[in-house]
Amino acid sequence: MRLLILISALALACASCGGDRPTTGSPVTPAAAPGAAASDKVAPVWQLAFSLRDGRATWGRTGAAKAGIETVWIEDKLPTDAIPQGSGGDTWTWVTSDPAPFSGSASHQSAIAQGPHEHLFTLDEGLPLTRASTLFAYVYLDPVHPPTQVMLRCNQNGTWDHAAYWGDENPDTHAVHVGPLPATGTWVRLEVSSTALNLDQSSNRKPRPATPDTDGPKTLNLDGYELTFADEFDTVPDVSPWGPGTRWIAHTPWDGDFGDAAFMDPQPGFPFTVDNGILRIEARKDDAFIATDRWKRFWGAGCLASNDRKGNGFAQQYGYFVMRAKLPSGVGVWPAFWLASSFDRTDAQAGKDGTIEIDVIEYYGRPETYQSVVHVWEPAPHHAEGNTAYTSRGFCTDSFRDYGVMVEPDWITMYADGVAVWRTKTPPEHKRPLMLLLNLALGSGWPIDQVKNPTYMYVDYVRVYAKKK
């Protein structure tokens, strides 16, 4: 569910600051920038990741600035109530020497690792941000173990599609390429505008409801609709790595596989098996997977897509799309059911006039919530509307549930077991039929070190309905 996008006309900078020290700033606990008008406030950043490929980096004072006033998010310690996390072997390690901190008394330092690794944190209330701010972070690249890339990633409104990187090209993210790596062995200030990262968005987060969103009345009504597609998974899915001619392929058709587990070509017994009419999608850790994966991932998992690269296969523009599934538990899992515009992915110009994605459910292992997002990818720049659905504890993992979406010309409405949990206006960029995708992925910025090996997603069926003619 991740498409590579290119963003141009960037107002970005990476400037060496030598030994100068800033003379303005706020305490470590985030606070709104002084003088910020209420109309300037945008959705907070509720996750922030310090990422790199290879090597080691040390990170210092980090925050946002506007009109010469800095709001400091991190210096000496994490913000109050932050939950520290890491992936790729990285952890939160605070150091007071080698190197000496740029400012304050301590800096946080990555592990030395090959490939992608990062440490991050999560806040319930988020980090304050005002429109047209400049995000900044001080970084010190290890001269003995230099990374090939460094990146700052932000999660706003439930999506990680706000990132900037310096160094080698990163084809697997939406990140904006700022420029070359900064110098090693000295503190350097990295800067990127919130506008360039598409962070100047209003918040769609809401207060936690007194009762779960999924406890409302069942309002789904399929009178006047007929079944147009169904896979009841009575047998192993009709799937091949790339098609053509099979009902499903085992990768995203734009070769944009994502996450901390590689989507594997189907083989006997893995990652797809069927027992008593239930599809089991498996994620497994195995050192042998590294030899077949370009990102050298230890984990393999499964994806099903109803279109091949040429756009062949099932797709439908409007109607009701539903998956009945029981999801795995634990932080680090990332099962999903989603839809994407159907067209010939081998044509570089196809889809430029309108491409959307509808994430019916993305589940990150948090026992009382899941996310739904509607993305617009083309025409650029990318933008999205999302929602956090609150559930009873274990709603997604203890039982089979229906996760559905009704797509109409005016509205897109998300359902859980027939209860409408969120709706948003159908974007005008929705001009094409929608293909189906379901997958068990891992990661999305969450650590995977506690994921059970193996872990499973169970799917009873996938069905699609359309209005009778």
Q: Which residues pair with 36 in a beta bridge?
A: none
Q: Which of 75, 98, 214 is nearest to 145 (CA)?
A: 98
**Beta strand extents in 26-173 (DSSP E only):** 45-53, 57-66, 69-74, 83-87, 93-95, 107-109, 116-127, 134-141, 149-156, 159-167
pLDDT of residue 80: 83
Neighbours of 377 (CB within 10 A): 23
- Burial bucket for residue 457 (CB in 10 Å: 0-12, 13-18, 19+): buried
Strands 239-240 and 13-16: unpaired
Cα gap 364→400, rounded to integer Å: 17
Give, in degrees to the nearest 5, the angle at Cα 31 between 28 and 37: 155
In eight-state DSSP terms, residue 276 is T
SS3 38: helix
Of 320, 316, 315, nearest in space to 406 by CA: 320
Q: What is the SS3 assignment for 79?
A: coil
Copy the structure tokens of residue 125. 């209330």
Pairing mode, strands 159-167 and 176-179: parallel
The span from the first CA to the last CA of the chain, in angstroms, equals 32
Q: Check the CA dihedral 89-91-95-99 and report its sign.
A: positive
**How is residue 81 written in tokens?**
């109530």
Token output for 77 = 């310690």
Please give the pLDDT value at position 39: 61
Cα(149)–Cα(169) distance, rounded to whole angstroms?
8
Q: CA dihedral in degrees (50, 54, 60, 63; nearest 10)?
A: -30
Least Cα distance to 455 among 435, 468, 441 occurs for 441
Distance, in Å, from the CA atom of 420 to the CA atom of 114, rounded to the nearest integer, reads: 45
For the chain, list residues with pLDDT below 50: 1-36
pTM of the predicted model as reported, rounded to 2 decimal places: 0.72
What gap in Å lies between CA 452 and CA 455, rounded to an integer? 5
Degrees, nearest 5: CA angle 170-18-113? 35
pLDDT at 402: 98
Secondary structure, 3-state, 256-274: CCCCCEEECCCECCECEEE
Identify the pLDDT of residue 385. Answer: 84
Phi, psi of 360 (to 5 degrees): -65, -45
Q: Whose CA is closest to 163, among 142, 178, 184, 148?
A: 178
Model pLDDT, residue 173? 57
- CA-nearest of 194, 260, 175 to 45 is 194
Tokens standing for 101?
């901190």
**What is the largest distance, in Å, between two alpha-carbon atoms of the chain?**
72
Alpha carbon distance 165, 12 (integer Å): 11
**247: Cβ–Cβ under 8 A, 6 or more apart, which residues?**
231, 237, 238, 239, 306, 313, 314
